[in-house]
Structure 1
Amino acid sequence: MRWTDEYKSRVTELSKQGLSSSKIAQRLFDEFGVNLSRRTVSRYLSTGHTSSRYDKLKKNTSKVKDVKRGTEIVINKDGSTTSTTTIENMNREKAKDVDFVLRAHGFDPEDWDIVSAKSNFWQQNSVEKGLIDLCQSKITVKPKVDNELTPQDIANLFKADIKPYTVKQVARDTHNLVVPLPDLHFGITRFEDTIIHLDKIAEVISSGYKTIVIEQLGDLFHSSQMNSSQTLKGTMLDEVDMVQAVEDAKRFFDVLVKLALDNSTKVYIKQMGGNHSSNLEYMFMEYLKVKYPQTVIENNIKYRDAYLLDNVGIMLAHGDFAAKNLPMLFANEFGGVWSLAHNRFIHKGHYHKEKTVDEGGVLSQQFGTIKPNDKYEISNGWTLSKKVLYLLEYSQDDLVTEYYV
């Protein structure tokens, strides 16, 4: 983002009014729609500079020894800094505390990230203190960049321009419609990829239903992080633009939820966390709660869930855990739904391909994905599955129609 004279003048003006750096950053977002971190505002007020790297990057490697602290500082050519120091009374738990380690080396956690860290522990006799614990700590750090997303930046992505949407709902049918949404992987999937599917969904929904249930079956986003592309377990993925991914997901659900509200008397949104992005999915559902107060949103981070749709029992799972045992888990974990249901179904995803199996009277439906193939799938030849969504129409007692969209 380029700082303008207007931004600089407003920051200075708000600072004179006594506002903190974080409050100034929030005010600039509210007034101009720009995302500035607290540390960026603080840096400008204290130094007059807007870049965190103005005094960090050096052409040559240099060393500085802080004799008083027993610290050696090495400024590397790539802009990172290596610090080696001896720290007294530092235990193994403190060595895992990133903020503590940075401060022990004299770095502000707001301005620096740790690239690598190594700690060596030993004990030594001191004439004054007796046996003391010592630690030699060596870290390499890099300055945080101004365009890195902070937690406040991420919160702004979800809360910006949330205007509750309400409609007068009218039922035109006694049937119910379920919209399973497995593995959308926004980040790889763009909103433009979903338009053809949304058009077909609109054709079906426009006929009108008593109840419409939207099932978010996990992996709504490709990455669990905003600043890097990786799964919840840390598996690195192809780089994606997660800011754009959030915006694409918002546009997709804006279209879908409005269609559902306009053509039913009740809209439910069910949430199941996926192995890629369940943390962001949970936050996204909280955004939808505010945006669409007429919907009933059941947000959770559980591995399985179940609900009753008239006399139809439906169990939900992402599909990566206990896939072979789901029918028995349905009966044991959700006995109330199981006992009242005339017919029972399992909806899941995860494997990006379709598979339907009748397991002891429970129809287990594994759905595919509309996500475009990524590099990993292409390299392994996993490119043969159909790119379709399903709409499932139920009477009070059973599945009556499947729509391929």
Structure 2
Amino acid sequence: MIRLNWTDEQKNRIIELSKQGLSSPKVAQQMFDEYGINFSRRTVARFIATGQTSSQYKRKPKPKVKDVQRGTEIVINKDGSTTSSTTMQMTEEQAKDPDFVLRAHGFNPDDWDIVSARNNFWQQNSVENGLIDLYQSKITVKPKVDKDIKRAVEILTRDIKPLKVKHSLDSSRKRNLVIPITDNHWGITHLSDVQGKLSELLDIIKQGYGTIVIEMIGDMLHSDKINSTETVSGTILEDVDMPKAIDEAMQFTEAIVVTALENANTVMIKSVGGNHDFDISYMFMIWIKERFKQAQVDVNNRYRTAYLLGHVLISIQHGNVNKKNPAQILANECRHLWGIATTTEIHSGHLHFDKTEDQNGVVFRQFSTPKPSDDWETMNGFVGANKLMYALEYNDDRLKVEHFI
């Protein structure tokens, strides 16, 4: 039997912390903070439940090591994880306890998750204690992320008040308007960069339309994270102020949606994620849906989507995937809509320059971006594209007017 030599003071402190409502891991962390001793989460839980600090083992107790020098190697990886390697003495039970291993490496279990762990066992002669058991412990950790989408949605939407816009129907509004918004990269782009373009776009919207469709075609936000700047795949980017970026993206979007609701019989908002912001754009679309209840908002986590505007079939996709046969894929995935449509278009962005191409009757429209050139684009010489926004006017069966803003 291994009996941990806890003092009465430590036992009383554990009981006190437990009565305060702390969980076993939090009690163990608090004890570590106060006494500098790694208390196993499982052993703490056992003591709280039974008053016992030991469990049955067939082997003899292992003495403490006093003459083994321990060093820790820390490596910060490009994907945001951290790898820690160290030598330590611990029991087999402790080696299986993620919280104990995290604390032994100097990480708070409340803030870090183990991605991978390897504890290699061997025995070594100790000058003071003879033959002892040691572990070469190597772990890779990442900061904890709230994986509960429902809880995250609740946090982001609990203070959102739906915006009521004076919305009236007008039978004289015959044409429809499509507003493609792609690759704004808020964080690189600021409101001051697009204020003039936004004002011109709002003037177009105020002409009045039967249906206005706002297409969110990806990479609205430069980073997929808040406290670091990187894409959804983990590519490290130049630092931007993401809280400010989100705030400016909200102001920009609200100006367009409110004006659209005031000047259209129907407002639809369609979306797909981009290679920069696929995850965070999903959360952004939830904000849009909660904020603008009068609009028809499509929240999805797909790489492409399609809709019918009169007899015009339009598919949107960011442009970083499905490059080989997008028209054939559209025909297969939307056979009913394909059969109804007299005109078919595919709208994309991603490459940051303007291009229109007719391929066997399917019109591909690749839109530019109003964003300023970032450091990477400047370094590589990708600075020649026009910085544009767009508004496309359709009648029932085809494009009639294209506004370059």
Instruction: Return the TM-score normalized by structure 1.
Output: 0.71
Alignment of 1:80-159 (within 5 A): 84-86=87-89, 101-103=101-103, 105=105, 107-110=107-110, 119-121=118-120, 135-138=135-138, 158-159=156-157
For 2:155 and 2:249, the matched residues in 1 are separated by 11
Q: What secondary structure, in the 3-state scheme, does the structure 1 residue paired with 2:268 have?
A: strand
1:162 is the counterpart of 2:131: no
Q: Is the alpha carbon distance of 1:244 and 1:160 closer, same or farther for their aligned partners in structure 2, counting shifts above 3 Å?
A: farther
Over the residues paired in the alignment, what is the CA RMSD in angstroms?
4.1
AA partner of residue 256 (structure 2): L
Q: Which runs of 5+ in 1 are unaligned?
A: 1-17, 22-38, 48-65, 125-132
Alignment of 1:2-401 (within 5 A): 67=64, 84-86=87-89, 101-103=101-103, 105=105, 107-110=107-110, 119-121=118-120, 135-138=135-138, 158-159=156-157, 161-167=159-165, 168-171=167-170, 172-401=172-401
Q: What secondary structure, in the 3-state scheme, does the structure 2 residue paired with 1:201 have?
A: helix
TM superposition shift of 1:324 = 3.3
Of the two, which has the highest radius of gyration? 2
Q: 1:121, 1:135 within 8 Å by CA — same for their partners in 2?
A: yes
AA partner of residue 320 (structure 1): N
Q: 1:166, 1:292 within 8 Å by CA — same for their partners in 2?
A: yes
For 1:299 and 1:235, the matched residues in 2 are separated by 25
Q: Is the alpha carbon distance of 1:196 and 1:89 closer, same or farther for their aligned partners in structure 2, counting shifts above 3 Å?
A: farther
AA partner of residue 363 (structure 2): L
Q: What secondary structure, in the 3-state scheme, does the structure 2 residue paired with 1:323 have?
A: coil
Q: 1:223, 1:276 within 8 Å by CA — same for their partners in 2?
A: yes
Q: 2:116, 2:140 within 8 Å by CA — same for their partners in 1?
A: yes
TM superposition shift of 1:112 = 6.2
Q: 2:182, 2:219 within 8 Å by CA — same for their partners in 1?
A: yes
1:76-106: CA deviations, max 9, x gaps? 9xxx9985425555999x79x7x67414647
Q: Size of the alignment, in residue pairs?
A: 331
Q: What secondary structure, in the 3-state scheme, does the structure 1 residue paired with 2:233 have?
A: coil
For 2:252 and 2:317, the matched residues in 1 are separated by 22
Q: 1:285, 1:299 within 8 Å by CA — same for their partners in 2?
A: yes
TM superposition shift of 1:332 = 1.1
Q: What secondary structure, in the 3-state scheme, does the structure 2 residue paired with 1:314 have?
A: strand
Q: What secondary structure, in the 3-state scheme, does the structure 2 residue paired with 1:373 have?
A: coil
Give the corresponding residue for 1:10: none
1:310-350: CA deviations, max 9, x gaps? 11100111101122311111111111111110100000000
Q: What secondary structure, in the 3-state scheme, does the structure 2 residue paired with 1:376 have?
A: helix
Q: What secondary structure, in the 3-state scheme, does the structure 2 residue paired with 1:202 have?
A: helix
Q: 2:174, 2:395 within 8 Å by CA — same for their partners in 1?
A: yes
For 2:100 and 2:395, the matched residues in 1 are separated by 60
Q: 1:88, 1:135 within 8 Å by CA — same for their partners in 2?
A: no
For 1:265 and 1:20, the matched residues in 2 are separated by 55
Give the corresponding residue for 2:9: none
For 1:376 and 1:157, the matched residues in 2 are separated by 34
Q: 1:272, 1:318 within 8 Å by CA — same for their partners in 2?
A: yes
Q: 1:174, 1:210 within 8 Å by CA — same for their partners in 2?
A: yes
Q: 1:86, 1:137 within 8 Å by CA — same for their partners in 2?
A: no
Q: 1:173, 1:210 within 8 Å by CA — same for their partners in 2?
A: yes
Q: 1:119, 1:135 within 8 Å by CA — same for their partners in 2?
A: no
Q: What secondary structure, in the 3-state scheme, does the structure 1 residue paired with 2:324 have?
A: helix
Q: Is the alpha carbon distance of 1:91 and 1:346 closer, same or farther for their aligned partners in structure 2, counting shifts above 3 Å?
A: farther
Q: 2:344, 2:363 within 8 Å by CA — same for their partners in 1?
A: yes
Q: 2:307, 2:313 within 8 Å by CA — same for their partners in 1?
A: yes
AA partner of residue 314 (structure 1): I
Give the corresponding residue for 1:130: none
1:274-332: CA deviations, max 9, x gaps? 01111000000001111111111111121221111111100111101122311111111
For 1:283 and 1:180, the matched residues in 2 are separated by 19
Q: What secondary structure, in the 3-state scheme, does the structure 2 residue paired with 1:324 have?
A: coil
Q: 1:87, 1:136 within 8 Å by CA — same for their partners in 2?
A: no
TM superposition shift of 1:211 = 0.7
